[in-house]
């Protein structure tokens, strides 16, 4: 292990992990240590200074981090996503909450070793919102970070609590302790919309319908969508999701007016998305096999996010709206993938 700083990435073998690690390696300024429950792909493992196959709910997993590593940021991506969390709420609580506590505890202890605050980057989600009805959703429009913050799902509850837990660790941890505290944790969180990658397929999320449809259409297969055609929630392309996380990580602390920020790019309905796919990849056949339970979940999410705070505080703006995302990023890459 070199004397350079290190980025620790949990959930490294997931969709966001793949894209983030590729970007960190491209930047080249830090070593990367990966943690995942599953043995990471060779494409990830070959890029990392250390790979730990372990469960983030266990302290012993973090204890395996090379003792000479100097971690400046923990990207805590390991999670059970929304549909998977509804199916197994106990496991969701364990991975999404206990896992975060272990990541924060590691960062807190490690800050003493590196003698500086250690950043913890936490991807939260649009699931942290809870809108009571379709009428309320329509009246709300683009939600800022303080509106409609009563989530209705296990995943949303876990994410909302995770945001608050991170703020607690950053600002009030052991406030009554008489012992000297370590330099501490600098927690920063992004509330993501649904993320669409041209290179990986999602599993276990409730916004998976657009990426599933895209990958089906690229293989010439019909797709049966599990939500209604007029369902409107926000989305963004994976490269912008990674860019946002790294922009927030690098922002000077004095520019941040909050610890949890919305980001967004576009909010197509399945029918609007199908028009773009059908033009480029006919037939891109779309039908509907609506799951009442999953529909209820997306209906409780706002139709758009207000990301003014991120724009103002750290200069956020997406590089891709809907047309660029589909025509310049998703289609060329997904077509090339299935042509091989």
Ligand X SMILES: NC(=O)c1ccc[n+]([C@@H]2O[C@H](COP(=O)([O-])OP(=O)(O)OC[C@H]3O[C@@H](n4cnc5c(N)ncnc54)[C@H](O)[C@@H]3O)[C@@H](O)[C@H]2O)c1
Q: Which residues bind ligand X (CB under 6 A)?
A: 10-11, 13-17, 35-38, 55-57, 77-79, 81, 95, 99, 123, 125, 192, 194-195, 202-205, 207
Return the number of the residue (19 or 140) whose C-beta is nearest ligand X.
19
Q: How far is the CB of 276 from ligand X (least distance, A)?
A: 19
Instruction: Give whichever of 152 and 278 is closer to ligand X, judged by the CB atom.
Output: 152
Are 272 and 303 spatial neighbours (Cβ–Cβ below 8 Å)? no
Query: In this complex, which beta carbon is closest to ligand X, that of residue 182 or of residue 196?
Result: 196
The whole-angstrom separation of Cα 122 and Cα 124 is 6
Question: Which of 182, 240 has the CB closer to ligand X?
Answer: 240
Q: Nearest approach, Cβ of 236 to ligand X (angstroms)?
A: 9
What is the four-CA torsion angle of 323, 17, 300, 149, rounded to 10 degrees? -110
Q: What is d(CA 114, CA 185) in angstroms, rounded to the nearest whole number? A: 12
Q: Which is nearer to ligand X, 106 or 192 (CB)?
A: 192
Q: Which CB, 56 or 260, lies closer to ligand X?
A: 56
Tokens 């041209």 — which residue? 198
Q: Which residues contact 14 (CB under 8 A, 6 or more apart)?
A: 36, 77, 78
For the chain, the three-class secondary structure string (H helix, E strand, C coil) is CCCCEEEEEECCCCHHHHHHHHHHHHHCCCEEEEEECCCCCHHHHCCCCEEEECCCCCHHHHHCCCCCCEEEEEEECCCCCHHHHHHCHHHHHHHHHHHHHHHHHHHHHHHHHHCCCEEEEEEEEHHHCCCCCHHHHHHHCEECCCCCCCCCCHHHHHHHHHHHHHHHHHHCCCCCCCCCCCCCEEEEEEEECEEECCCCCCCCCCCCHHHHHHHHHHCCCCEEECCCCCCCCCEEEHHHHHHHHHHHHHCCHHHCCCCEEECCCECCCHHHHHHHHHHHCCCCCEEECCCHHHHHHHHCCCCEECCHHHHHHHCCCCCCCHHHHHHHHHHHHHHHHHHC
Q: Write down the least CB distance from residue 83 to ligand X, Å.
A: 11
Between 51 and 286, name the residue whose CB sits nearer to ligand X.
51
Q: Which residue is nearest to ligand X (CB)?
A: 14
The structure tokens listed for 225 are: 């969508």
Active site residue 129: no
Q: How far is the CB of 150 from ligand X (least distance, A)?
A: 18
- Residue from 129, 155, 213, 329 carrying the catalytic annotation: 155
Residues involved in catalysis: 155
């Amino acid at each position: 292990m070199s004397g350079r700083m290190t980025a620790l990435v949990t959930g490294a073998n997931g969709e966001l992990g793949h894209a983030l690690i590729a970007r960190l390696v491209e930047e080249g300024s830090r070593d990367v240590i990966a943690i995942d429950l599953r043995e990471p792909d060779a494409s990830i493992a070959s890029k990392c200074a250390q790979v730990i196959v372990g469960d983030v709910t266990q302290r012993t997993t973090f204890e395996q981090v090379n003792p000479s590593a100097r971690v400046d940021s923990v990207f805590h991506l390991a999670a059970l996503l929304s549909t998977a969390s509804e199916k197994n709420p106990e496991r969701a609580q364990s991975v999404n909450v206990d896992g975060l506590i272990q990541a924060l505890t590691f960062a807190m202890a490690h800050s003493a070793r590196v003698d500086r605050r250690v950043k913890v980057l936490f991807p939260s989600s649009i699931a942290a919102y809870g809108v009571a009805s379709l009428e309320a959703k329509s009246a709300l429009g683009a939600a800022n970070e303080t509106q409609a913050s009563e989530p209705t799902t296990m995943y949303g509850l876990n994410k909302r609590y995770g945001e608050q837990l991170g703020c607690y660790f950053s600002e009030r941890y052991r406030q009554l302790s008489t012992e000297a505290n370590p330099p501490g944790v600098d927690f920063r969180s992004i509330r993501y919309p649904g993320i669409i990658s041209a290179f990986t397929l999602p599993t276990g999320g409730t916004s998976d319908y657009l990426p599933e449809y895209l990958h089906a259409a690229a293989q010439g297969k019909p797709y049966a969508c599990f939500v209604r055609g007029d369902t409107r929630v926000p989305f963004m392309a994976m490269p912008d999701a990674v860019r946002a996380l790294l922009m927030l990580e690098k922002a000077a602390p004095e520019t941040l007016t909050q610890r949890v920020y919305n980001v967004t790019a576009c909010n197509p309905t399945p029918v609007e998305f199908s028009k773009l796919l059908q033009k480029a990849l006919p037939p891109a056949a779309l039908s509907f096999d609506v799951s009442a339970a999953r529909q209820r979940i997306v209906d409780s999410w706002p139709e758009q996010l207000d990301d003014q705070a991120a724009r103002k505080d750290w200069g956020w703006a997406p590089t891709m709206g809907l047309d660029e995302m589909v025509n310049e990023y998703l289609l060329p890459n997904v077509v090339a993938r299935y042509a091989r």
